[in-house]
């Protein structure tokens, strides 16, 4: 009996030591990521955003179910019925893709507007930088933690739409529908990541959290409301008075579309609409001769991905560019300890 107690005592003495060694062996970057992730999940802000996303899913599913029968009767292709849960609407509420386009920037800004300046105002940033860790671990970990939370929310919302749609309609998605929805969720994560990086950049630039939040919301309102008005003014001032060639008209329409594609919302709308509506065959102006050679019917998944590949590339480029600016500003910023 004494020998057994001695062995148990020796075992419990070794457990804390092994745990401490395992904790010390963990990379500092992932320690910061875990800490930032838990701080975001345990905050009331995360609960509010999660509830908002759940209400969005329920509202969009309700409006899709109320108009699903009419949408199926108007469309001759009945092979993509499950996708209409994400695009159909009865006019009272917008569809699911519109909800994501409107609420996605709010989620990204809400998760990143106080990523750095809150640490600075509390005086914990200088203490964190005093530790033997690389300075870029902090900004990178904050981005990875917030993006992982966004990915978790979007994937959970997509799975919720999957389950509720199967229960209410009794129609399981086909493999192509599944992959189209998967790429739609991927594009949504990238789109929200653009606004997350913008909020992090304002958080690095401004000392007050309220200023960074208002700056992010101002940029979102500009691209959502006023950017189209600005493009219309440019179009009216640059519109040719006389058009003698069809190619000239097509090039001018392409110029207008490229101006609109500066906005992340326009890129997201074109990419998601093409993925969820397979009957869309082009995103630019075409002539009657070009349209006459097109075969009737929906595009396969590979062709739809090729069609939206420029939009997805532009979204990723915008996210990388904004995060690069945030990274440079944070690395060059002077951080002083509060006495």
CB contact at 8 A, 285 and 250: yes
Per-residue pLDDT of the chain (339 residues; tens, 9 = 90+): 555 445 545 544 444 444 444 444 577 788 888 888 888 888 888 888 888 888 887 887 777 777 666 655 555 445 677 888 888 777 677 788 888 888 889 999 999 888 888 888 887 777 877 777 888 888 899 999 999 999 998 998 888 888 888 887 777 888 888 899 999 999 999 999 999 999 999 999 888 888 999 999 999 999 988 888 888 888 788 777 666 666 767 777 777 888 888 889 989 988 998 888 888 877 766 555 555 555 666 788 888 898 899 899 999 999 999 999 999 988 887 766 554
CB contact at 8 A, 199 and 319: no
pTM of the full structure: 0.85
Q: Is 48 helix (H, G, I), strand (E, B) or coil?
A: helix
Distance of alpha carbon 113 from alpha carbon 219, whole angstroms = 13
For the chain, counts of helices (H) and of strands (E): 16, 0
Best CA proximity match to 120, nearest among 339, 338, 326: 338
CA 119 to chain centre: 25
């Amino acid at each position: 009996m004494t020998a057994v107690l001695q062995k148990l005592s020796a075992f419990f003495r070794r457990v804390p030591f092994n745990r401490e060694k395992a904790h010390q062996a963990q990379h500092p970057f992932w320690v910061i990521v875990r800490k930032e992730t838990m701080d975001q999940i345990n905050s009331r802000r995360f609960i509010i955003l999660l509830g908002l996303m759940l209400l969005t899913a329920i509202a969009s599913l309700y409006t899709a179910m109320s108009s699903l029968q009419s949408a199926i009767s108007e469309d001759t292709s009945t092979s993509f019925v499950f996708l209409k849960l994400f695009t159909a609407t009865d006019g009272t509420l917008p569809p699911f893709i519109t909800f994501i386009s409107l609420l996605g920037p709010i989620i990204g800004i809400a998760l990143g507007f106080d990523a750095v300046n809150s640490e600075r105002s509390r005086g914990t940033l200088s203490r964190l930088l005093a530790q033997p860790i690389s300075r870029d671990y902090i900004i990178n970990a904050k981005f990875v933690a917030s993006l992982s939370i966004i990915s978790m929310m979007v994937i959970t919302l997509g799975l919720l739409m999957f389950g509720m749609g199967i229960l209410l309609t009794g129609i399981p998605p086909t493999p192509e529908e599944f992959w189209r929805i998967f790429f739609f969720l991927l594009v949504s994560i990238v789109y929200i990541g653009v606004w997350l990086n913008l909020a992090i950049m304002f958080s690095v630039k401004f000392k007050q959290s309220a200023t960074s939040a208002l700056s992010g919301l101002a940029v979102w309102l500009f691209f959502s409301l006023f950017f189209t008005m600005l493009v219309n003014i440019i179009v009216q001032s640059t519109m040719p008075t006389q058009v003698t060639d069809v190619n000239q008209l097509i090039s001018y329409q392409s110029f207008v579309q490229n101006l609109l594609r500066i906005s992340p919302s326009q890129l997201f709308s074109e990419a998601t609409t093409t993925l969820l509506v397979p009957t869309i065959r082009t995103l630019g102006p075409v002539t009657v001769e070009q349209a006459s050679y097109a075969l009737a019917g929906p595009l396969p998944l590979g062709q739809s991905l090729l069609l939206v590949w420029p939009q997805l590339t532009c979204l990723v480029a915008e996210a990388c560019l904004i995060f690069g600016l945030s990274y440079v500003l944070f690395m060059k910023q002077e951080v002083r300890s509060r006495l």
